[in-house]
């Protein structure tokens, strides 16, 4: 299956980081997400019920990441991937998670993960 729903540059303000000073502030994380989804039924019926609702997925990511503190971006990416797969029935996804202010000399740093199988 080759269809994908994507979300680009979803911004979330999170308590994230390994250092003491990072526990006191919120920092910007940016998500780029690609999710495999068979879109044929939605496309044939024009019915959102058969679609992977990107608005719902976006809101879930925001609520989840804002709900608790994290140390590593690895944990955020891994947890969000697992939650999305379990809650929305997504067989494969790729998450690029950026923490743009983390290294002053770099434009951006982050992680890219893929989970599941492209069927």
Ligand X SMILES: Nc1nc2c(c(=O)[nH]1)N=C([C@H](O)[C@@H](O)CO)CN2
Q: Which part of the chain contacts ligand X (CB under 6 A), choosing from 16-24, 32-40, 41-49, 90-98? A: 16-24
Query: Which 3 state secondary structure label does DSSP give 107?
Result: coil
Closer residue to ligand X, CB minimum distance, 66 or 74: 74
Residue choice 72, 106, 112, 118 for contact with ligand X (CB under 6 A)? 72
113 is a contact residue toward ligand X (CB under 6 A): no
21 is a contact residue toward ligand X (CB under 6 A): no
The CA distance from 119 to 112, in Å, is 20
110 is a contact residue toward ligand X (CB under 6 A): no
The CA distance from 102 to 100, in Å, is 6
112 is a contact residue toward ligand X (CB under 6 A): no
What is the per-residue burial (b if ≥16 Cβ within 10 Å, else e) of 87-98? ebebebbbbbbb
Contact 35, 96 (CB under 8 A): no
Closer residue to ligand X, CB minimum distance, 7 or 113: 113
**Helix, strand, coil distribution of the chain in percent, nearest 5:** 35, 30, 35
| Shortest distance (Å) from residue 116 CB to ligand X | 22
Binding site for ligand X (CB under 6 A): 17-19, 22, 72-74, 99, 102
Active-site amino acid positions: 99
């Amino acid at each position: 299956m080759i269809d994908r729903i994507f979300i680009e540059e979803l911004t979330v303000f999170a308590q994230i980081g390994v250092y003491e000073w990072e526990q006191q502030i919120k920092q910007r994380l940016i998500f780029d997400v690609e999710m495999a989804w068979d879109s044929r039924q939605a496309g044939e019926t024009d019915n959102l019920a058969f679609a992977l609702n990107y608005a719902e997925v976006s809101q879930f990511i925001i609520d989840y990441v804002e709900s608790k503190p994290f140390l590593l971006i690895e944990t955020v990416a891994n947890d969000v991937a697992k939650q999305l797969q379990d809650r929305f029935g997504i067989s494969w996804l790729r998450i690029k998670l950026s923490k743009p202010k983390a290294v002053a000399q770099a434009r951006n740093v982050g992680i890219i993960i893929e989970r599941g199988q492209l069927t």
